[in-house]
Amino acid sequence: MTALAMMCATAHAQESTPSFSIIPEPAEVIAAEGQFAMTRETLIAVSGKEVQSSADFLVDYLERYLGYPLKTEKKTRSSNCISLVNKKSDEISGGYTLEVSANGILIEGNDAAGVFYGVQTLIQLLPTRAGVLPVLQAVKVHDYPRFAYRGMHLDVVRHYFPVSYIKKYLDYMALHKLNYFHWHLTDDQAWRIEMKSHPRLTEFGSNREGEIEGLYPGVYKELPYGGYYTQEEAKEIIKYAADRHITVIPEIDIPGHCMAVLATYPHFSTTPDEPKKAALTWGIYNKFNNVLAPTPEVFRFLKEVFSELCDLFPGQYVHVGGDECAKRWWQESEQAQRFMKEKGIKDERALQSYFIHYVQDVVNSKGKTLIGWDEILEGGIDKNCIVMNWRRVNHGVNAAKKGNRVIMTSSAYSYFNKVESRSQAEIGAGGVLPLRKVYDFQLVPEELTEEEAARIWGAQGCLWTEYIPTTWKVEFCIFPRMSALAENAWSTNGKSWENFVRKMEAQFARYDLWGARYSETFFRVNDVPRKR
């Protein structure tokens, strides 16, 4: 088929078959004649063990949501079969083709991840309501991701979520073809990952005494609040994520945001004689002294915990935090000033950089790569560090120009803890983040050259949980914005707000099918009637 004929067919497919509501939009969708009626005898054929988890995901989805418990087998057959094939080609990772014909369904991935994403697209061709027979319109899909990094973050410090819910969060990510889970494990309010080298961090530092009611500064009720993940639980989550082609990136936030560490080890502070407790509230800079002192004991601590983290998490990336470290406490500390003088460190920004370089060396010595929030640029960083751009995009631009890889998660476009509209009753962090703004976030800033633009590794949505104490609220905040993020990060062409709005009717029906909660702001803002 010529390119023009293909374009016409694609356009025709979109016009004449509005029933395709695939999010994120694939690179190419071509409707064909006929249909495939799935039956209880439909077989899922698995070509190799590396695609078994894709088959398991499909089987689980069909059984859980549509009441179709299908069987998987190693052998394929000529009809009534869903074949999952890993082509093991060196084409773009995550790319796949999906063909639905009267005889069955063929998914061919460039790699195992591609097969998994083909399965996610197949899931989006299935009925969005239980009680409807799965009769699929014939279609050919050719697809691949725009960005290699498509992430979601979850802060489990301000509020803790059980392993069972983390798995659900990973399922939601998988259904959106997202592939990095950024797990924010430590902060001022708690340390939530077991460290065999420092068990007190979770025995003591995972607990705080109270809980905010209303918006900051709010009122605090006495409520002992704790929880942490054992290493066995972390391994369970890592495996669950890997089965969904998701890499877990653990974050230990230093040298600021360390109040829970200092509550556990007050002598790690520049003000060791002040009493310290895991923080009830938030805010930084002049509020409380949450920074680590540059002492030999602290650096030994950092070496031990980051080494242990590298050993526990098999992924390539470890996150050091590095954000919002108030320099005041080092300025006021005789010990810190003496340390800087001895080491020839010119100012407090360079001291922050010293901490980051120190952890980078530990992480690199384990064969891994360091990621940090964009403040790690202060005082200079090595080229092999990855910058997570959370503030204004100029920091991401700056990092890309300096030669660093960048993940775009600018708070104005990517922090899903903000309210979705001003009229929303539920409280949220400052600022409003409408769905459209997430969708329209320009991930490659115009001022970058082609070479610099290639350093934009991808995008991420963040969920800080200061005002998110329940899983209900998590889902209310991430849906539907996670769907907009996914399309922005994945879709290479065919991205269109109007088409996205059209597809959202099916997407909301899917949320209902999954039993997920969501914000209904979309219907109000876009003047779309809510169909039930």
Which residues of the shown chain bind ligand ACM in the complex (CB under 6 A)?
323-324, 373, 390
Which CB, 116 or 373, lies closer to ligand ACM? 373
Which CB, 304 or 324, lies closer to ligand ACM? 324
Which CB, 180 or 490, lies closer to ligand ACM? 180
Closest by alpha carbon to 152, among 245, 239, 248? 248
Q: Are 255 and 352 in contact (CB under 8 A)?
A: yes
Between CA 127 and CA 328 the distance in angstroms is: 58
Which CB, 243 or 323, lies closer to ligand ACM? 323
Between CA 454 and CA 497 the distance in angstroms is: 25
Q: Shortest approach of ligand ACM to residue 466 CB, angstroms?
A: 11
Neighbours of 194 (CB within 10 A): 20
CB-based contacts of 198-204 (< 8 A; 24+ apart in sequence): 198/264, 198/301, 198/304, 198/305, 200/264, 200/265, 201/260, 201/261, 201/264, 201/305, 202/228, 204/263, 204/264
Q: Are 315 and 367 in contact (CB under 8 A)?
A: no
Measured CA angle at 306 (ends 269, 342), to 5 deg: 50
Q: Shortest approach of ligand ACM to residue 390 CB, angstroms?
A: 4
Q: Shortest approach of ligand ACM to residue 355 CB, angstroms?
A: 16
Which CB, 149 or 373, lies closer to ligand ACM? 373
Give yes or no: 324 in active site. Answer: yes
Which CB, 24 or 372, lies closer to ligand ACM? 372
Which CB, 282 or 500, lies closer to ligand ACM? 282
Give yes or no: 311 in active site. Answer: no
Which CB, 127 or 396, lies closer to ligand ACM? 396
End-to-end alpha carbon distance in the chain: 41
Of the candidates 187, 194, 251, 466, the residue annotated as catalytic is 187
Q: How far, in Å, are 181, 228, 253, 254 from residue 469 at the CA level? A: 20, 15, 21, 24
List all residues 6 or more positions away from 426 whose beta carbon is below 8 Å from its beta carbon: 419, 473, 476
Q: Shortest approach of ligand ACM to residue 324 CB, angstroms?
A: 5
Between CA 374 and CA 229 the distance in angstroms is: 27
Between CA 308 and CA 231 the distance in angstroms is: 10
Which CB, 68 or 355, lies closer to ligand ACM? 355
DSSP 141-210: EEE--S-SEEEEEEE-SSS---HHHHHHHHHHHHHTT--EEEEE-EETTEE-B--TT-THHHHTTT-EEE
The DSSP output letter for 37 is: E
Which CB, 141 or 459, lies closer to ligand ACM? 459
What count of Cα atoms within 13 Å lies in the side-chain half-sphere of residue 384? 13
Of the candidates 324, 347, 505, 512, the residue annotated as catalytic is 324
List all residues 6 or more positions away from 357 whose beta carbon is below 8 Å from its beta carbon: 381, 382
Of the candidates 176, 257, 319, 395, the residue annotated as catalytic is 257
Q: Shortest approach of ligand ACM to residue 397 CB, angstroms?
A: 18
Q: How far, in Å, are 161, 164, 228, 420 from residue 157 at the CA level? A: 9, 16, 9, 23
Q: How far, in Å, are 322, 335, 352 from residue 347 at the CA level? A: 16, 14, 9
List all residues 6 or more positions away from 476 whose beta carbon is below 8 Å from its beta carbon: 426, 517, 518, 519
Q: Are 224 and 290 in contact (CB under 8 A)?
A: no
Q: Shortest approach of ligand ACM to residue 156 CB, angstroms?
A: 15
Q: Shortest approach of ligand ACM to residue 223 CB, angstroms?
A: 25
Q: Shortest approach of ligand ACM to residue 289 CB, angstroms?
A: 17
Q: Shortest approach of ligand ACM to residue 429 CB, angstroms?
A: 9
Q: Are 139 and 20 in contact (CB under 8 A)?
A: yes
Q: Give the residue numbers marked as catalytic.
A: 187, 257, 324
